[in-house]
């Protein structure tokens, strides 16, 4: 819905809106809708408000975002934001402007009440300005149907009249993919299932996801074991990450090489060759890992390592049961580390409960995500590593993994990982940001607060010749987009590049 955008005068990000675009209730899409949308987002404590403190609309088709903290990430936050209509949400936006503009916060009872009321709001109909609209009567727990919105400005470019979205994790979706009732699916399918797809003529697309599974340690429970960075380095060397990726996802599970906390695909874009060469890749070396533990005073009691204070290395590793790839990764880690001398018991937890357990601190070791699959800036990879199941969990009343963000590097340098993460996205000069990204990547590599295992590439089922004529070729640049950030279906659909089978 934006036709032009850019940074203005150092602290303003400006967008120009498409003129003549209509909502499907017959009202025009204008800057008032955008302003209302972002003020409603303020009620929800959307991250954009960490960087923006004022939004104004000088005319019906221009919106200015004043940045209290200028950052290149504002561009993506704004352009990827889903707008709502001011006709429906304007009263909420006005309440937000009055409350937050007067210094209110969500931490007060008044703010909490506003948030509760807003989250309970259910409009009778969801107004759309894009080429599809909800078929509200069709919504079930299993699926959602979108129908063509013929009043959309780009309705003629879209060549399909209906989209059916199926809900569910890998076990739920696999049968309907094999039945050829689904044209595109992005669940993490096991290698055996992928082979079934290909045998039945279903293509498999492998876009990079820019993230994957990692081992999280509970430093609250086991600081005496995992608090020493060299122990975590030893564990990284004791795990064959290549094996872990292949067992979990076949060709789509690619062992992490640089261990920098961000995708290996992004490292050359942000780090110099010198910085890259300084990264420890923690190659698979069980003997070297054993040497590190021996140097730290660890001994073995039978097949199990014992710490200098007498703690036996016996732990549980949990993972989301319904995530086939993460489950396989967790089981393989348990086997590999048990063979090495850490007696690891695997435990599958339903996928909705697993992040709750981790955020509450109810785990020994856990498989959770590293990297950022929804935003290409490295800053977000370090938000995941240092904040998501750590400080943000604590702020929400939990314990998380309990990793202190003030740390000392091997050379004695003290680092503030929280500030380094924030600095990585600071300012509007990408070249200047590279020094901060390099600093936090190097610190991550030396400290290994979490242990990345493999980078997940999609093994996305792509059916051709039934409803969709064809999907992009494997070497098409569009397949460099993360399927969970800028999914190819949306882009291909909106540009008319996705074509139906001709009757």
Domain boundary residue, one of 99, 120, 141 = 120
Helix (H, G, I), strand (E, B) or coil at 391: helix
Q: Which value, to the nearest 10 degrees, does the dihedral of the CA atoms of residues 31, 36, 41, 45 take? A: 110
- pLDDT of 74 strictly over 80: yes
Rounded Cα–Cα distance for residues 367 and 355 (Å): 10
How large is the average pLDDT for residues 360-383?
96
- pLDDT of 503 strictly over 90: no
Helix (H, G, I), strand (E, B) or coil at 14: strand
* Burial of residue 11, with CB atoms counted within 10 A of its CB: 0-12 exposed, 13-18 middle, 19 or more buried: middle
Residue 347 in domain: yes
Range of the domain at 90: 2-120
Rounded Cα–Cα distance for residues 395 and 456 (Å): 29
Q: Which value, to the nearest 10 degrees, does the dihedral of the CA atoms of residues 339, 389, 424, 410 take? A: -40
Helix (H, G, I), strand (E, B) or coil at 328: helix
How large is the average pLDDT for residues 305-319?
98
Q: In this structure, are 294 and 437 located in the same domain?
A: yes
pLDDT band at 106 (very low <50, low <70, confident <90, very high): confident
- The proportion of the chain whose per-residue pLDDT surpasses 90, expressed as a percent, equals 93
- pLDDT of 395 strictly over 90: no
Q: Are 224 and 311 within 8 A, CB to CB?
A: yes
Q: For residue range 209-257, list pLDDT tens digits in order.
A: 999 999 999 999 999 999 999 999 999 999 999 999 999 999 999 999 9
Q: In this structure, are 62 and 152 located in the same domain?
A: no
Q: How many domains is the chain partitioned into structurally? A: 3
Q: Which residue from 70, 82, 61, 97 is spatially nearest to 13, judged by alpha carbons?
A: 70
**CATH number for the domain harbouring residue 112:** 3.90.76.10
Q: How many CA atoms lie within 13 A of 259 on its CB side?
A: 24
Q: In this structure, are 277 and 403 located in the same domain?
A: yes
Contacts of residue 84, defined as CB under 8 A and 6 or more positions apart, other chains included, come to 33, 36, 37, 40, 127
Predicted confidence at residue 125, as pLDDT, reads: 85
**CATH number for the domain harbouring residue 219:** 3.10.105.10
pLDDT band at 334 (very low <50, low <70, confident <90, very high): very high
Find the DSSP H helices in 259-340: 267-270, 273-277, 286-295, 324-340
Q: In this structure, are 288 and 436 located in the same domain?
A: yes
pLDDT band at 61 (very low <50, low <70, confident <90, very high): very high
Residue 216 in domain: yes
Distances (CA, A) of 474 to 22, 361, 460, 495: 36, 42, 12, 19
How large is the average pLDDT for residues 352-366?
98
Q: In this structure, are 262 and 403 located in the same domain?
A: yes
Predicted confidence at residue 91, as pLDDT, reads: 97
Tokens of 399: 């314990």
Q: In this structure, are 488 and 372 located in the same domain?
A: no
Domain boundary residue, one of 94, 120, 146 = 120
- pLDDT of 113 strictly over 90: yes
Rounded Cα–Cα distance for residues 362 and 356 (Å): 9
Residue 126 in domain: no
Predicted confidence at residue 10, as pLDDT, reads: 81
Tokens of 59: 């005319």
How large is the average pLDDT for residues 154-183?
95
Predicted confidence at residue 32, as pLDDT, reads: 98
Q: In this structure, are 157 and 179 located in the same domain?
A: yes
* Burial of residue 127, with CB atoms counted within 10 A of its CB: 0-12 exposed, 13-18 middle, 19 or more buried: buried
- pLDDT of 362 strictly over 80: yes
Q: In this structure, are 407 and 305 located in the same domain?
A: yes
Q: In this structure, are 78 and 192 located in the same domain?
A: no
Q: In this structure, are 302 and 239 located in the same domain?
A: yes
Q: In this structure, are 230 and 200 located in the same domain?
A: no
Q: In this structure, are 224 and 189 located in the same domain?
A: no
Residue 500 in domain: no
């Amino acid at each position: 819905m934006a036709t032009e955008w850019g940074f203005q005068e150092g602290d303003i990000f400006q967008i120009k809106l498409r003129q003549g675009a209509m909502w499907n209730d017959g009202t025009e899409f204008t800057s008032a809708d955008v302003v209302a949308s972002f003020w409603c987002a303020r009620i929800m404590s959307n991250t954009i408000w960490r960087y923006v403190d004022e939004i104004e609309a000088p005319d019906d088709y221009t919106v200015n975002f004043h940045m209290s903290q200028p950052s290149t990430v504002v561009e993506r936050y704004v352009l990827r934001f889903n707008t709502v209509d001011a006709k429906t949400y304007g009263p909420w936006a006005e309440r937000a402007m009055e409350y937050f503009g007067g210094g209110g916060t969500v931490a007060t009872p008044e703010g909490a009440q506003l948030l509760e009321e807003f989250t309970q709001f259910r409009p009778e109909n969801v107004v759309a300005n894009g080429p599809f609209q909800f078929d509200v009567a069709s919504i079930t727990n299993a699926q959602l149907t979108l129908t063509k919105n013929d009043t959309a400005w780009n309705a003629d470019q879209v060549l399909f009249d209906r989209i059916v979205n199926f809900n569910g994790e890998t076990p739920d979706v696999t049968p309907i993919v094999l039945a050829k009732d689904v044209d595109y699916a992005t669940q993490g399918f096991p290698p055996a299932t992928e082979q079934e797809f290909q045998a039945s003529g279903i293509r498999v697309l492998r876009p990079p996801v820019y993230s994957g599974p990692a081992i999280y340690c509970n430093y609250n429970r086991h600081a005496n074991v995992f608090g020493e960075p060299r122990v975590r380095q030893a564990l990284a060397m004791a795990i064959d990450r290549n094996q872990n990726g292949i067992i979990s996802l076949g060709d789509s599970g690619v062992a992490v090489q640089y261990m920098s906390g961000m995708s290996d695909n992004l490292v050359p874009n942000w780090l110099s060759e010198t910085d890259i060469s300084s990264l420890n890749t923690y190659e698979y070396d069980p003997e070297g890992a054993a040497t590190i533990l021996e140097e730290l005073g660890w001994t073995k009691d039978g097949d199990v390592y014992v710490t200098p204070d007498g703690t036996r290395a016996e732990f549980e590793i949990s993972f989301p049961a319904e995530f086939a790839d993460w489950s396989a990764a967790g089981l393989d880690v348990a086997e590999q580390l048990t063979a090495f001398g850490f007696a690891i018991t695997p435990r599958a937890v339903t996928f909705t409960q697993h992040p709750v357990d981790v955020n509450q601190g109810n785990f020994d070791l856990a498989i959770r995500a590293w990297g950022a699959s929804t935003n290409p800036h490295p800053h977000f990879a370090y938000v995941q590593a240092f904040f998501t199941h750590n400080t943000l969990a604590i702020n929400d009343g939990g314990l998380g993994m309990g990793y202190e963000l003030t740390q000392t590097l091997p050379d004695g340098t003290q680092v503030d990982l929280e500030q380094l993460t924030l600095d990585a996205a600071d300012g509007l000069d990408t070249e200047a940001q590279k020094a901060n990204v390099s600093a936090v990547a190097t610190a991550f590599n030396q400290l290994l607060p979490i242990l990345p295992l493999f980078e997940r590439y999609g093994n996305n089922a792509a059916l051709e010749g039934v409803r969709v004529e064809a999907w992009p070729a494997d070497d098409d640049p569009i397949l460099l987009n993360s399927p969970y950030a800028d999914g190819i279906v949306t882009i291909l659909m909106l540009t008319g590049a996705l074509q139906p089978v001709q009757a």
